[in-house]
Chain A
Amino acid sequence: MNLKLKIWRQKNSNDKGKIVDYAISDIEPDMSFLEMLDVLNDELINKGETPVAFDHDCREGICGSCSLFINGRAHGPDTGIATCQLHMRKFKDGDTIYIEPFRARAFPVIKDLAVDRSAFDRIQHAGGYVSVNTSGNTQDANNIPIPKENADTAFDSATCIGCGACVAACKNSSARLFVSAKVSQMALLPQGQIEAKTRVLNMTEQMDKEGFGNCSNTGACEVECPKGISLENIARQIREYAKATTATKK
Chain B
Amino acid sequence: MATLDSKIPAGPLKDKWTNHKNNINLVNPANKRLIDVIVIGTGLAGGSAAASLAELGYNVKAFCFQDSPRRAHSIAAQGGINAAKNYQGDGDSIYRLFYDTVKGGDYRSREANVYRLAEVSANIIDQCVAQGVPFARDYGGLLDNRSFGGVLVSRTFYAKGQTGQQLLLGAYSAMNRQISRGKIKMYNRHEMMDVVIVDGKARGIIARNLVTGEIERHSAHAVVVGSGGYGNIFFLSTNAMGSNASAAWKMYKKGAFFANPCFTQIHPTCIPVTGELQAKLTLMSESLRNDGRIWVPKKKEDAEAIRNGKLKPTQIAQEDRDYYLERRYPAFGNLVPRDVASRAAKERCDAGFGVNKTGEAVYLDFSSAIQRYGKEQAYTKGLDENDKELITKLGKEAVANKYGNLFEMYEKIVDQNPYETPMMIYPAVHYTMGGVWVDYNLMTTVPGLFAIGEANFSDHGANRLGASALMQGLADGYFVLPYTIGDYLSDDIRTGEIPTDTKEFDQAEKEVSERIEYFVNNKGEHSVDYYHKQLGKIMWNKCGMSRNENDLKSAIEDIKKLREEFWKGVRVPGTSKEFNEELAKAGRVADFMELAELFAIDALERKESCGGHYREESQTEDGEAKRDDENFKYVAAWEYKGDNEKAQLHKEDLVYENIELKTRSYK
Contacts and interface: CB of A to CB of B under 8 A. Distances in A.
Interface of A: 11-12, 28, 30-32, 34-35, 38-39, 41-42, 44-46, 48-51, 53, 55-65, 78, 80-81, 85, 87, 89, 110-111, 114, 116-118, 120-121, 124-126, 128-136, 138-142, 144-148, 151-152, 154-155, 158-159, 161-162, 185-186, 189, 191-192
B67 A185 contact: no
A55 B413 CA distance: 20
A128 B166 CA distance: 13
A58 B76 contact: yes
A138 B55 contact: no
Main secondary structure of the interface of A (DSSP, over half): loop
Given A28-B277, A35-B278, A42-B529, 14 more contacts: A42-B527, A57-B66, A57-B242, A58-B241, A60-B76, A117-B68, A121-B68, A130-B132, A148-B137, A155-B136, A155-B166, A158-B166, A161-B165, A162-B71
11 contacts: A51-B581, A53-B581, A55-B67, A58-B73, A59-B241, A117-B68, A125-B179, A129-B177, A136-B123, A158-B166, A159-B165
B275 interface: yes
Given A57-B66, A63-B66, A138-B127, A124 B134 contact: no
Nearest to B275: A28
Contacts of B573: 44-45, 48-51
Contacts of A189: 132, 134
A44 B582 CA distance: 12
Contacts of A63: 66, 71, 73, 75-76, 240
B87 interface: yes
B131 A130 contact: yes
Contact of A50 (B68, B126, B174, B574): B574
Interface string B132-173: 101111111111000000000000000110101110010011
A135 B479 CA distance: 7
Contacts of A158: 134, 159, 165-166, 169
Contact of B67 (A38, A89, A116, A126): A116
A131 to B, nearest CB: 6
Contacts of B66: 57, 63, 65
B75 A39 contact: no
Interface string B68-101: 1111010110000000010100000000000000
Contacts of A148: 137-139, 141
B130 interface: yes
Give the interface residue-count category, chain B: 35 or more
Interface in B401-425: 408-409, 412-413, 415
A159 B142 CA distance: 21
B497 interface: no
A83 B87 CA distance: 40
Contacts of A145: 137, 140-142
Given A63-B71, A138-B126, A151-B136, A125 B131 contact: no
Most buried by B among A63, A131, A134: A134
Most buried by A among B129, B186, B241: B129
Contacts of A12: 578-579
Contacts of B75: 58, 62-64
A186 B166 CA distance: 13
A202 B312 CA distance: 57
A118 B68 contact: yes
Nearest to B78: A62
A85 B120 contact: no
B478 interface: yes
B180 interface: yes
B198 to A, nearest CB: 30
Contacts of A141: 85, 125-126, 128-130, 135, 143
A35 B277 contact: yes
